[in-house]
């Protein structure tokens, strides 16, 4: 048995990376709208892929690729442009329209609530650094679910909490571009975990019908160097190792999914854990490669040699990461697996024949899906795979200089061109992965 019958073959995006329309229909500024001086080439997300205006054309392209699902995020500042608690009808309408368009095209919507674009007003009130602000996330989650749960079954609370805390508050290269002490980072971690837990409860209460909820942390699995039991156990242990606690998989997922306190006993109380550890319907994760290439700590790495295959992000290509990631997470968390992001940046351009040939991405997708299919064949319950990204977009601090899309975007004209990988993915979807 390979991929399940209703496997959610999809692709993903995030509001700030594709929408543009940064001040339209009542939207207010978010923390990434003030990225001047922090983004390569002075790029910003004001227009991005203009998806806000072109969503119909984009959904038609998704249909052409044969997507069964599409993961997008809601722009919080479109729904609540100020702190006054009044939802912006025009903002909500956009997501209703997008959802209807998807459903009419036979595409299952998967909605992420927070993909890094905090409203500026909330940041000015202390953002994730103030516990009393949790209520704003809860109201926002409730509002989205009330408005959209008749059509949307799959929900994700936070995208890659490890990345936005590390990038935004520790290293400072992502919005809000600040650097805080380790003590503050612990407080922010606790507050975002509580926000997740409280939102899950509120979402289930607000839903018009039963909904499925997960969270989308990033995951750096450690892969075994061979498949002996001993080596597999070593990799499993290192994957969930607490020696390097910050932003590792269990740092987030053990409290959230197991109700277990990690790296220190002081900052999550028993009461906190009860709030944080809400039942989830699936374990989602974003995975681009294996952390440390699977090498034992402090040892030279046989997998890391000069000229090792890498993407245009300089990230190593480690296709078995999806197999080991799905396997280890399924064993540990016991929930069906949803891959919410996996993909590669490539040096794509439109060629003389007017097409975008991206053999590296075709090969990347092919190899990663073979690993995922192996996991499915071994009985791991996997409900879907979302390629990152549906289209080239605003890659945060790197601006438009990195292209991850299945669809090429020519930014000056906003022309879209399906890349070879989109046609390859279409055939994979058509055969439910049997052609791999």
Binding region for ligand IFM (CB under 6 A): 14, 17, 160, 286, 341, 388, 395
Position of tokens 């949307």? Answer: 152
Q: What is the DSSP string of 314-329?
A: --B--TTHHHHHHHHH
Active-site option among 143, 160, 166, 395: 160
Beta carbon of residue 72, minimum distance to ligand IFM (angstroms, whole number): 12
Q: How many angstroms separate the Cα of 409 from the Cα of each of 57, 86, 381?
A: 13, 35, 34
Query: Which of 275, 391 has the CB closer to ligand IFM?
Result: 391
CA 264 – CA 396 distance, rounded (Å): 32
Beta carbon of residue 115, minimum distance to ligand IFM (angstroms, whole number): 6
CA 118 – CA 46 distance, rounded (Å): 15
Backbone dihedral angles phi then psi of residue 373, each to the nearest 5 degrees? -65, -40
Query: Which of 33, 395 has the CB closer to ligand IFM?
Result: 395
At 273, list the tokens: 């854990």
Catalytic (active site) residue 89: no
Query: Which of 28, 159 has the CB closer to ligand IFM?
Result: 159
CA 351 – CA 25 distance, rounded (Å): 37
CA 41 – CA 336 distance, rounded (Å): 41
Q: How many angstroms separate the Cα of 1 from the Cα of each of 218, 311, 329, 380, 434?
A: 28, 31, 20, 11, 10
Catalytic (active site) residue 160: yes
At 427, list the tokens: 């055939």
CA 244 – CA 44 distance, rounded (Å): 33
Beta carbon of residue 388, minimum distance to ligand IFM (angstroms, whole number): 6
CA 105 – CA 68 distance, rounded (Å): 9
Active-site option among 341, 377, 395, 434: 341
**Residue length of the chain:** 436
Beta carbon of residue 413, minimum distance to ligand IFM (angstroms, whole number): 23
Query: Which of 198, 403 has the CB closer to ligand IFM?
Result: 403
Q: Are 48 and 17 in contact (CB under 8 A)?
A: yes
Query: Which of 224, 343 has the CB closer to ligand IFM?
Result: 343
Beta carbon of residue 107, minimum distance to ligand IFM (angstroms, whole number): 20
Nearest residue to 295 via CA among 368, 235, 227: 235
At 417, list the tokens: 């061109």
CA 252 – CA 127 distance, rounded (Å): 19
Beta carbon of residue 17, minimum distance to ligand IFM (angstroms, whole number): 6
CA 431 – CA 436 distance, rounded (Å): 9
Angle at 407 between CA 404 and CA 408, to 5 degrees: 80
Nearest residue to 354 via CA among 408, 309, 307: 408
Query: Which of 134, 391 has the CB closer to ligand IFM?
Result: 391
Beta carbon of residue 364, minimum distance to ligand IFM (angstroms, whole number): 13
Q: In sequence order, what E strands does 5-68 have?
A: 8-12
CA 76 – CA 30 distance, rounded (Å): 8
Query: Which of 17, 133 has the CB closer to ligand IFM?
Result: 17
Beta carbon of residue 393, minimum distance to ligand IFM (angstroms, whole number): 7
Query: Which of 14, 145 has the CB closer to ligand IFM?
Result: 14
CA 110 – CA 339 distance, rounded (Å): 12
Give the number of other CB atoms < 10 A from CB of residue 229. 8
Residues taking part in catalysis:
160, 341
């Amino acid at each position: 048995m390979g991929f399940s019958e209703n496997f959610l073959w999809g692709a993903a995006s995030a509001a700030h990376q594709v929408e543009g329309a940064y001040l339209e229909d009542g939207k207010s500024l978010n923390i990434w709208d003030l990225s001047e001086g922090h983004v390569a080439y002075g790029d910003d997300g004001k227009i991005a892929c203009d998806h806000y205006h072109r969503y119909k054309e984009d959904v038609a392209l998704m249909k052409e690729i044969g997507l069964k699902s599409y993961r997008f995020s809601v722009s919080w500042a479109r729904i609540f442009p100020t702190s006054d608690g009044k939802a912006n009808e025009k903002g909500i309408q956009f997501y209703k329209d997008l959802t209807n368009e998807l459903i009419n095209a036979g595409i299952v919507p998967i909605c992420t609530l927070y993909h890094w674009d905090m409203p500026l007003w909330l940041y000015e009130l202390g953002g994730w650094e103030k516990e009393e602000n949790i209520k704003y996330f809860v109201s926002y989650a409730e509002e989205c679910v009330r408005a959209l749960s008749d059509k949307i079954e799959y929900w994700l609370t936070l995208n890659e909490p490890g990345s936005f805390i590390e990038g935004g508050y520790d290293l400072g290269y992502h919005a809000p571009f600040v650097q805080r002490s380790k003590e503050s980072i612990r407080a922010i971690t606790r507050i975002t975990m509580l926000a997740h837990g409280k939102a899950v409860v509120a979402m289930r209460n607000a839903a018009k019908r039963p909904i499925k909820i997960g969270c989308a942390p990033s995951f750096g699995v450690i892969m075994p160097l061979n498949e002996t039991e001993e080596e597999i156990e070593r990799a499993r242990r290192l994957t969930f190792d607490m020696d390097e606690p910050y932003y590792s998989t269990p740092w987030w997922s053990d409290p959230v999914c197991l109700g277990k306190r990690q790296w220190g006993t002081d900052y999550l109380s028993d009461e906190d854990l009860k709030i944080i550890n809400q039942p989830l319907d699936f374990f989602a994760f974003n995975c681009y490669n294996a952390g440390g290439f699977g090498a034992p700590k402090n040892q030279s790495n046989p997998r890391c040699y000069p000229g090792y295959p890498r993407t245009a992000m300089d990230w190593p290509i480690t296709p078995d990461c999806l197999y080991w990631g799905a396997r280890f997470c399924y064993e540990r968390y016991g929930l069906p697996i949803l891959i919410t992001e996996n993909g590669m940046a490539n040096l794509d351009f439109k060629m003389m024949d007017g097409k975008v040939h991206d053999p590296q991405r075709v090969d990347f997708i092919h190899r990663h899906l073979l690993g995922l299919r192996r996991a499915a064949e071994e009985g791991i319950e996997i409900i879907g795979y979302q390629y990152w990204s549906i289209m080239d977009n605003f890659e945060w601090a790197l601006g438009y200089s990195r292209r991850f899309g299945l669809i090429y975007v020519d930014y000056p004209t906003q022309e879209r061109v399906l890349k070879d990988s989109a046609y390859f993915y279409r055939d994979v979807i058509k055969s439910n992965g049997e052609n791999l």
